[in-house]
Amino acid sequence: MSEAVRGADSDLLFLSGVNKTFDGFKAINNLSISLAKGEMRAVIGPNGAGKSTMMDIITGKTKPDTGRVLFGTDTDLTRMDEPSIAQLGIGRKFQKPTTFESHTVWNNLLLALAGNRSPWFTLGARKTRAEADKIEALLATIRLTEHRDRLAANLSHGQKQWLEIGMLLAQDPQLLLVDEPVAGMTDAETEQTAHLLRDINRTRSVVVVEHDMTFVRALGVKVTVLHEGSVLSEGSLDQVSADPKVIDVYLGR
């Protein structure tokens, strides 16, 4: 089968004919998916469908066996390592927290803003007006303005997830990848997270993997259903929910 070698000019991310086998098991199977510039996409699918592996491939953590992975129309991500891909403007939020627990919310954001500079230097140095403004804006986006002086360790589970999203935003990614952000959150936190991602999507592209259908509905974006490493269905949540192929997979028939 011939595969498209290039996405549309309006694509930010373009995967075509991607395959990845782990010890003989095909985790990603001829996967083709594209994301338009400025789009937010929800990716759903049963456990083991390859959702996290797809993100690993986009971020360079995993190299595909075959296939194309392009950022913009001609940046080949398969030739780049993880730090270079992050540098290019692709930020990824993992499920396990990576906040500095013994620092305040404010200092966590400041450290994220400083990137690789030493924490000693960063926390000791005078903050510039621009840094302070940027941190204020981040606090508002992640709903933690009132919690700026709390230690990260003392935040709720949901607030920690938001802080991490804020730390990623500090790096100014063009594309944000979030894997199961609302797992373990309360209903109220889940709802806030949908609002938060919609706010973020006003200026950045987002791919969000999530099982929680109430949350996916609240996002109100195009949905891609992955199954056995390929796209099973794509469309609005109502469209994919009514697709017999999707119903079969979810009911396990």
Chain center to CA of 253: 31
Q: Is 52 in the site for Mg ion (CB under 5 A)?
A: yes
Cβ at position 40, least distance to Mg ion in Å: 18
Residues 48-87, mask of contacts with ligand ADP (x by CB under 6 A): xxxxxx----------------------------------
| Partner whose footprint covers residue 181, from Mg ion, ligand ADP, none (CB < 5 to 8 Å by kind) | none
What residue has token string 């099973």? 232
Nearest to 190 by CA among 156, 158, 164, 221: 158
Task: For residue 173, give the 3-state DSSP assignment.
Answer: coil
Q: Is 59 in the site for Mg ion (CB under 5 A)?
A: no
Nearer to ligand ADP, 13 or 27 (CB): 27
Nearer to Mg ion, 55 or 139 (CB): 55
- Single-letter amino acid, residue 164: E
Q: Is 27 in the site for ligand ADP (CB under 6 A)?
A: yes
Residue 12, token pair as written in the block: 């930010």
CA distance 106 to 146: 11
| Partner whose footprint covers residue 50, from Mg ion, ligand ADP, none (CB < 5 to 8 Å by kind) | ligand ADP
Residue 40, token pair as written in the block: 């937010």
Cβ at position 87, least distance to Mg ion in Å: 25
Q: Is 62 in the site for Mg ion (CB under 5 A)?
A: no
Contacting range for ligand ADP; rule: CB under 6 A; set: 46-54, 99-107, 109-117, 189-197: 46-54
Nearest to 219 by CA among 245, 248, 241, 198: 198
Q: Is 237 in the site for ligand ADP (CB under 6 A)?
A: no
Cβ at position 58, least distance to Mg ion in Å: 13
Q: Is 24 in the site for ligand ADP (CB under 6 A)?
A: no
Burial class of residue 2 (count of CB atoms within 10 Å of its CB; 0-12, 13-18, 19+)? exposed
What residue has token string 């991500």? 77
Report, in angstroms and rounded to the nearest whole number, the Rg of the chain calculated over CA atoms.
19
Contact residues: Mg ion, CB under 5 A: 51-52
Q: List residues binding ligand ADP (CB under 6 A).
A: 22, 27, 45, 47-53
